[in-house]
Amino acid sequence: MTIKKFQGKTEAEATALAKEEFGAGTVIMNVKEIKPKGLLRSFKTSMYEVTAAIEESEPSQPARPAAPVNMPAAGNINVAADEPISIPRAEEMKEVFATVESTWANSMPQEMKEEKKGGTAENVAASSPSNNNLEEKLENLQSLLEKKLSQPPEEQKEELLKESLMDENFKFVKMIYSILLENEVNEKYVNQIMDEVEKVMKKGASLDYILSSIYQKMILKFGQPQPIKLSEHKPKVVFFIGPTGVGKTTTIAKIASRFKVEKGKKVALYTADTYRIAAAEQLRTYANILDTPLDIVYSAKELNEELQKAQEEEFDLVLVDTAGFSHKNEEQREETKQLVDQLSEEFEKEVYLVLSATTKYRDLLEIADIYKANFDFKMIFTKLDETSCYGNILNMKLYTGADLSYTTYGQNVPEDIEIFNTQNIVKLLLGGK
C-alpha cells in the first residue's frame, strides 16, 4: 500500500490531486483542515490536507469514500477572534471518536481487514506505522479535552475569562491592523509590527497595554528626527534634491526663514536649477523678502568659488536648490551628483531628499532606488495637508533607512513647516487626530 498526503485550498482540490495521481482506486483515509498559526491567522486562509492510499496490488480497486468526520484536526485548535468557544461534553467526544474508528475500519483495503483476523479497527490502524501518527494525535486530543472537562469549576471559569480576554485582544489588534492598511502602510511592515506585539498578547495584556506597545514600537521604527544642525566650521552647505513638483523651492524658503528670522543666523541661497527660469525667480522673491543673497551656479567649480566668498563673509548656512527632474532622467541626475560630489572637502555638507506625501508608493520606491544609488540623504516630506494617508512616510523610512527631518503642510512661509513630529504621525496612523 502507498500512502501520501495532498494539500489544496479546498478539500475538493486536495482530493482531486490525490485521485489524479492515484487513479480510481484512491482511498481517502483522512481530511484535515490546516489553519494558519500566529497572531495574523485571522487574516489568512486555511489549507486542506487529504491523506490518500492506493493498494499497489489492486490498482483498479474502486475507491471507498470515507465517512465525513466533523472534528477539528489535532494540533490545530485555532479559534479566530470572532468565533465563540464551545467545549464539547464527554458523551459527544465518545461519539466523535467512535465515528473516527468506524471510518478507519471502513476505509481499510480488504487485505488489511483479513490481516487483523477478527481484531478491532483500532488494531488495524495500529498495525501500520503510517497510521500511528494520526492515532497518537487523536489520543492526545482526547486526553486534552478530558483534562479540560475534569477541571474544577473555578479553574474552568478562570480559563474562560482568559479566553474571553484573548478574544477581545484579537478583535482590537485586527482593528489596528485594518487601520494601518487603510493608512497605506505596506502590509509587510504591518505584519512586522504585529509579530512584535504577539509576545505581549500571549501574556494576557490589557487593551491599553497592547495599544501602548504598538505606539512605542512605531515610535522606535521612525527614529529620532534629524533636522539641519549648524557646524562650527562655517558655512554648513545643505543640498536639496528630489523630483519635480514636490515643493523643494518653497521648502528651502521656509528653512531659510526659520534660521534667519527665528535663530538670527546668516543664510545664503544658491540655485543650480538652470532648467526652469521660474524656479530661480521664485527663490529670488523669497531671498528679497528675507534680505538674503541669492546666486545662480552652473557647475561644481563655480559653487566652490561662491562658497569661498560665503566663508569669508562668515555665513552660517548655505542652502542649495538643485534642478528638479524625473528620476528617470540620467543626464540631469548625473549633473546633480557631480555638483554634490565635487564640493570641496573643507565644507561640511548634508543632502536632503524632498518627497511629496501624495506620491504613489510604487513611484516612491522607484525614486528612492535611484537616489539611494547616488546620494546619502535624509528625507523631508511635503504636502501633508493634501492627503489623509500617512503610511508612505513609514514605508519610506523602513525601506530606505534614511533619517526623517522636516514635514511641510501648506504654502505659507515660514509657518507651514516643522521638525518631523513622530508622536503626531504615529497617532494619525493609528486612527487618532
Residues making up the chain, counted from first to last: 433
Phi, psi of 350 (to 5 degrees): -140, 150
Residue 49 has what DSSP assignment? E
Three cell numbers, residue 176: 489596528
Starting from the edge strand earliest in sequence, which strands make up the sheet with 378-382, in order? 294-296, 267-271, 317-321, 236-241, 348-356, 378-382, 404-408, 417-419
Three-state SS for 51? Answer: strand
**CA 182/CA 331 separation, integer angstroms:** 38
**CA 272/CA 295 separation, integer angstroms:** 9
Query: What are the pLDDT digits (tens) for 47-87?
Result: 888 888 887 654 444 444 444 444 434 333 333 334 443 44
88 upstream amide cis, omega within 30 of 0: no
Residue 401 burial (CB < 10 Å; 0-12/13-18/19+)? exposed
- Beta bridge pairs of residue 30: 51
Q: What is the pLDDT of residue 136?
A: 60
The string over 27-36, giving b where at least 16 C-beta atoms fall within 10 Å of a residue's C-beta and e elsewhere, is bbbbbbeebe
Percent of the chain with pLDDT over 70: 68
Three cell numbers, residue 312: 569669508
Query: What are the pLDDT digits (tens) for 237-294?
Result: 999 999 888 989 899 999 999 999 999 999 999 988 776 666 678 888 888 998 999 9
Domains detected in the chain? 2-149 (no CATH), 153-222 (no CATH), 236-429 (3.40.50.300)
Average confidence (pLDDT) over 225-247: 90
Amino acid (1-letter code) at residue 107: S
Q: What is the pLDDT of residue 267?
A: 94
- Residue 100 CA: distances (Å) to CA of 28, 65, 131, 246, 400: 13, 14, 13, 66, 55
62 upstream amide cis, omega within 30 of 0: no
Q: Which of 137-141, 222-226, 352-356 has the lowest mean pLDDT?
A: 137-141
Three cell numbers, residue 206: 490589557
Three-state SS for 190? Answer: helix
User: Residue 6, CB half-sphere, CA atoms under 13 Å: how many?
Assistant: 23
Angle at 91 between CA 85 and CA 95, to 5 degrees: 95
Three-state SS for 405? Answer: strand
Residue 419 in contact with residue 227, Cβ under 8 Å? Answer: yes
Three cell numbers, residue 368: 528612492
* More confident of the two residues 229 and 196: 229
Query: What are the pLDDT digits (tens) for 148-185?
Result: 555 555 554 555 445 555 567 778 888 888 899 999 99
Amino acid (1-letter code) at residue 18: A
Query: What are the pLDDT digits (tens) for 105-147?
Result: 554 445 444 544 444 444 444 444 445 555 565 556 556 555 5
Tell me which long-range contacts 428-433 makes (C-beta under 8 A, separation of at least 24): 428/183, 428/390, 429/179, 429/180, 429/183, 429/185, 429/218, 429/390, 429/391, 429/394, 430/176, 430/179, 430/180, 430/211, 430/214, 430/215, 430/218, 431/176, 431/179
Q: What is the pLDDT of residue 318?
A: 95
Helix (H) or strand (E) holding 138: helix 129-149
pLDDT band with cut points at 50, 70 and 90 for residue 410: confident
Q: Which of 43-57, 184-198, 357-371 has the lowest mean pLDDT?
A: 43-57
Query: What count of other Cβ atoms lies within 10 Å of the Cβ of residue 255?
Result: 25
pTM more than 0.85:
no
**CA 316/CA 320 separation, integer angstroms:** 13
- DSSP state string for 91-120: HHHHHHHHHHHHHHHHHS-HHHHHHHTT--
